Structure 1
Amino acid sequence: MGREFIPLFDEWAEFYDETVAGDDAEYKEVFEKYDDILDIVAKKSKGTVLEFGVGTGNLTEKLIGLGREVYAVEPSKLMREKTKARFMNLNLYDGDFIQFPNPPGKVDSIVSTYAFHHLTDDEKDSAIKLYSDMLEEGGKIVFADTAFLDEKDRQERHRIVKGQGYENLLQDLQSEYYTTLDVLKVIFERHGFQVKFEKLNTYVWLMEAVKEKKN
Structure 2
Amino acid sequence: MGREFVELFDHWAESYDETVAGKDLEYQEVFMNYEQILHKVADLVHGNVVEFGTGTGNLTQMLLEKGCSVVGVEPSAAMRKIASKKMPHLTILDGDFLSFQLNGPIDAFVSTYAFHHLENSEKANAISKYSTLLTTGGKVVFADTVFRSKDEKEIFIQEAKNKHYLSLAQDLETEYYTTIPILESMFHSNGFSAEFKQLNRYVWLIDAEKL
State the TM-score, normalized to the length of structure 2: 0.99
- Aligned equivalent of 1:205: 204
- Listed as ranges, the matches of 1:52-71 within 5 Å are 52-71=52-71
- Aligned equivalent of 1:97: 97
CA deviation after TM superposition for structure 1 residue 151, in Å: 1.3
Contact 2:21–2:31 under 8 Å retained in 1: yes
Contact 2:195–2:207 under 8 Å retained in 1: yes
Identity %: 50
- Which runs of 5 or more structure 2 residues have no equivalent in the other structure? none
Determine helix, strand or coil for the equivalent of 2:88.
coil
* Counterpart-to-counterpart distance in 2, 1:34 and 1:176: 20
* Counterpart-to-counterpart distance in 2, 1:104 and 1:98: 16
Contact 2:26–2:168 under 8 Å retained in 1: yes
Determine helix, strand or coil for the equivalent of 2:23.
coil
- Which runs of 5 or more structure 1 residues have no equivalent in the other structure? none
When the two chains are superposed, the root-mean-square deviation of aligned CA atoms in Å is 0.6
- Aligned equivalent of 2:33: 33
CA deviation after TM superposition for structure 1 residue 198, in Å: 0.2
Measured against aligned partners, the alpha-carbon deviations of 1:72-121 in whole angstroms (never above 9, x if no partner) come to 100000100001111111121000000112x2111001000000000000
* Counterpart-to-counterpart distance in 2, 1:203 and 1:82: 26
Determine helix, strand or coil for the equivalent of 1:15.
helix
- Tell me whether 1:118 sits opposite 2:110 in the alignment: no
CA deviation after TM superposition for structure 1 residue 163, in Å: 1.1
Determine helix, strand or coil for the equivalent of 2:14.
coil
* Counterpart-to-counterpart distance in 2, 1:95 and 1:151: 30
CA deviation after TM superposition for structure 1 residue 187, in Å: 0.6
- Tell me whether 1:20 sits opposite 2:36 in the alignment: no
* Counterpart-to-counterpart distance in 2, 1:138 and 1:13: 34
- Aligned equivalent of 1:159: 158
CA deviation after TM superposition for structure 1 residue 158, in Å: 1.3
Determine helix, strand or coil for the equivalent of 2:11.
helix
* Counterpart-to-counterpart distance in 2, 1:155 and 1:56: 30
State the TM-score, normalized to the length of structure 1: 0.97
Contact 2:57–2:83 under 8 Å retained in 1: yes
* Counterpart-to-counterpart distance in 2, 1:159 and 1:3: 27
* Aligned residue type for 2:120: D
CA deviation after TM superposition for structure 1 residue 204, in Å: 0.2
* Aligned residue type for 1:57: G
How many residue pairs get matched? 211
Contact 2:46–2:67 under 8 Å retained in 1: no
- Aligned equivalent of 1:75: 75
- Aligned equivalent of 1:184: 183
* Counterpart-to-counterpart distance in 2, 1:191 and 1:91: 29
CA deviation after TM superposition for structure 1 residue 161, in Å: 1.1
Measured against aligned partners, the alpha-carbon deviations of 1:41-73 in whole angstroms (never above 9, x if no partner) come to 001112110100000000000000101000110
Find runs of 4+ consecutive structure 1 residues off by over 4 angstroms.
none
Contact 2:80–2:92 under 8 Å retained in 1: yes
